[in-house]
């Protein structure tokens, strides 16, 4: 991109009157060139990649590092980020692959499929309880948040009564208005809690993921307790924040597109494809994935130098008309399996089979249980979470 002599624009976050859509600047920038310089809110200037093919290329490139401890890494907050032991999403291979492989079996498709009856049972239970609530009731508090929280607690062997520890602190972690010190303290609070839980599992292991890590990994010396707690922190935060916000946003999107809601309910066999379209359309990781170049490489004919930071907004890729016809329309009939909502390459989301299964069960069941469900406040008054790494809704009053 030629140097215009103008100061680079800041990373856009304002969605204007279309809170279900990415900021409009991304559409303009996709047409202007493959990448451009962008300033983060705390000052540093990095490359911004906006096109689908270029984003896939960067996420798969071996010289695009996820290591947040490298000098110049484009962190979402001012200050020098530290990495918790075992927080493998911010590592490169071989360390990243070593930790990830320890968890792969849990999230394999066949194991997730075996969980479906329990997922359906939890969904039905929570919706029965929602039906007893005074109306309007908050869908987030009564269904969208407790459903994935219950699932992740059972999977990891975390007592559900103690969920407040990771729910409260994970909100601080993903809130981009939190300072680096506040975010670090919130992360460490979850780490400390999980270290205590791992000690309990060592004395009395059960049939859960944390017990398995203790018995198969910590006792054998493959993992330290601190590394296991770091892995757990990553998965606990990611495992409930993402699905909870997808349920809330999907509910609003479907209610605003009644023809698509009808399609979801009328054709049960199309539910998996419909969920992938919702994932593409909403793409809740709205703050952009981050990388740093380990060596010079090209993106669309532009040379990225070693040490340059890259901001990668996957919501822009998922609205690229070069890949998705009429991308700003929600179309549950389309094939959107090639979306990038779970990322791409070696860091692609480990828990995506579970996330898909949760959404495939939760959304159709919700609308069948409450066929006349509606949002109880005007669209303009819905509490969208705008300054956050995981986009969503803070509170969604509904009635039926």
* pLDDT for position 287: 79
Please, are residues 393 and 384 in contact by the beta-carbon 8 Å criterion?
yes
CA gap 52, 319 in Å, rounded: 8
| Coil, helix or strand at residue 340 | coil
Residue whose C-alpha is closest to residue 103's, from 391, 389, 363, 353: 353
What pLDDT sits at residue 6? Answer: 63
Domains in the chain, start-ordered, CATH in brackets?
77-284+337-395 (1.10.630.10)
Q: β-strand 309-312 against 45-49: which pairing, if any?
A: parallel
The packing angle between helices 116-131 and 146-156, to 10°, is 140
CA distance 155 to 210: 8
**Using CA atoms, how far apart are residues 115 and 118, in angstroms rounded to an integer?**
5
Q: What is the pTM assigned to this prediction?
A: 0.94
Task: Determine the Cα–Cα distance for residues 400 and 375; give it in Å rounded to an integer.
Answer: 9
DSSP codes joined into one string, 72-102: T---SSSS-----TT-GGG--TTHHHHHHHH
CA distance 98 to 102: 7
For the stretch 172-205, what's the b/e string if a residue is b when 16 or more beta carbons lie within 10 angstroms of its beta carbon?
bbbbeebebeebbebbebbbebbeebbeebeeeb
Q: How many CA atoms lie within 13 A of 83 on its CB side?
A: 19
CB 47 within 8 A of CB 35: yes
Assign 301 to helix, strand or coil: coil
Please report the pLDDT score of residue 148 as a whole number. Answer: 94
DSSP for residue 10:
B
219 close to 237: Cβ distance less than 8 angstroms: no
What is the model's pLDDT at position 320? 98
The CA-based diameter of the chain, rounded to the nearest angstrom, is 64
Tens digit of each residue's pLDDT, the chain (400 residues) = 444 556 788 888 888 789 999 999 999 999 998 899 999 887 789 999 999 999 999 999 999 999 999 999 998 887 777 888 999 999 999 999 999 999 998 898 899 999 999 999 999 999 999 999 999 999 999 999 999 999 999 999 999 888 888 888 888 888 888 888 998 999 999 999 999 999 999 999 999 999 999 999 999 999 999 999 999 999 988 888 899 999 999 999 999 999 999 999 999 999 999 999 999 999 998 777 999 999 999 998 999 999 999 999 999 999 999 999 999 999 999 999 999 999 999 999 999 999 999 999 999 999 999 999 999 999 999 999 887 888 999 999 999 9
Distance CA 387, CA 242 (A): 15
- β-partners of residue 289 are 312
């Amino acid at each position: 991109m030629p140097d215009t002599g103008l100061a680079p624009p800041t990373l856009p976050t304002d969605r204007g009157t279309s809170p279900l859509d990415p900021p409009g600047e991304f559409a303009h920038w996709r047409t202007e060139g493959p990448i451009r310089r962008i300033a983060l809110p705390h000052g540093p200037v990095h490359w911004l990649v906006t096109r689908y093919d270029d984003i896939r290329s960067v996420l798969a490139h071996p010289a695009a590092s996820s290591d947040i401890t490298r000098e110049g890494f484009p962190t979402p907050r001012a200050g020098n980020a530290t990495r918790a032991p075992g927080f493998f999403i911010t590592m490169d291979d071989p360390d990243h692959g070593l930790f990830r492989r320890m968890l792969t079996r849990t999230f394999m498709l066949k194991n997730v499929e075996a969980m479906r009856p329990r997922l359906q049972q939890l969904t039905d239970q929570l919706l029965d309880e929602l039906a007893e609530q005074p109306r309007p009731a908050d869908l987030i508090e009564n269904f969208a948040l407790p459903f994935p929280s219950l699932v992740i607690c059972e999977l990891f062997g975390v007592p559900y009564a103690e969920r407040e520890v990771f729910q409260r602190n994970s909100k601080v972690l993903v809130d981009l208005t939190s300072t680096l010190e506040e975010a670090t303290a919130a992360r460490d609070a979850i780490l400390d809690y999980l270290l205590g839980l791992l000690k309990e599992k060592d004395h009395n292991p059960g049939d859960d993921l944390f017990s398995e890590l203790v018995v198969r990994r910590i006792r054998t010396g493959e993992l330290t307790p601190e590394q296991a707690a770091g892995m757990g922190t990553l998965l606990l935060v990611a495992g409930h924040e993402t699905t909870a916000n997808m349920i809330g946003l999907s509910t609003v999107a479907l209610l605003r597109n009644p023809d698509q809601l009808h399609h979801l309910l009328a054709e049960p066999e199309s539910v998996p494809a419909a969920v992938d379209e919702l994932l593409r359309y909403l793409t809740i990781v709205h703050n952009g994935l981050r990388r740093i170049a380990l060596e010079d490489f090209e993106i669309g004919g532009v040379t990225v130098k070693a040490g340059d930071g890259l901001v990668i907004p996957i919501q822009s890729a998922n609205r690229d008309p070069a890949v998705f016809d009429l991308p700003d329309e929600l179309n549950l009939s389309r094939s959107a399996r090639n979306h990038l909502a779970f990322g791409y390459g070696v860091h692609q989301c480990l828990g995506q089979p579970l996330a898909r299964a949760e959404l495939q069960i939760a959304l159709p069941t919700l609308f069948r249980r409450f066929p006349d469900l509606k949002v109880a406040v005007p669209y303009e008054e819905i509490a969208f979470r705008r300054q956050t790494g995981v986009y969503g809704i803070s509170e969604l009053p509904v009635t039926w």
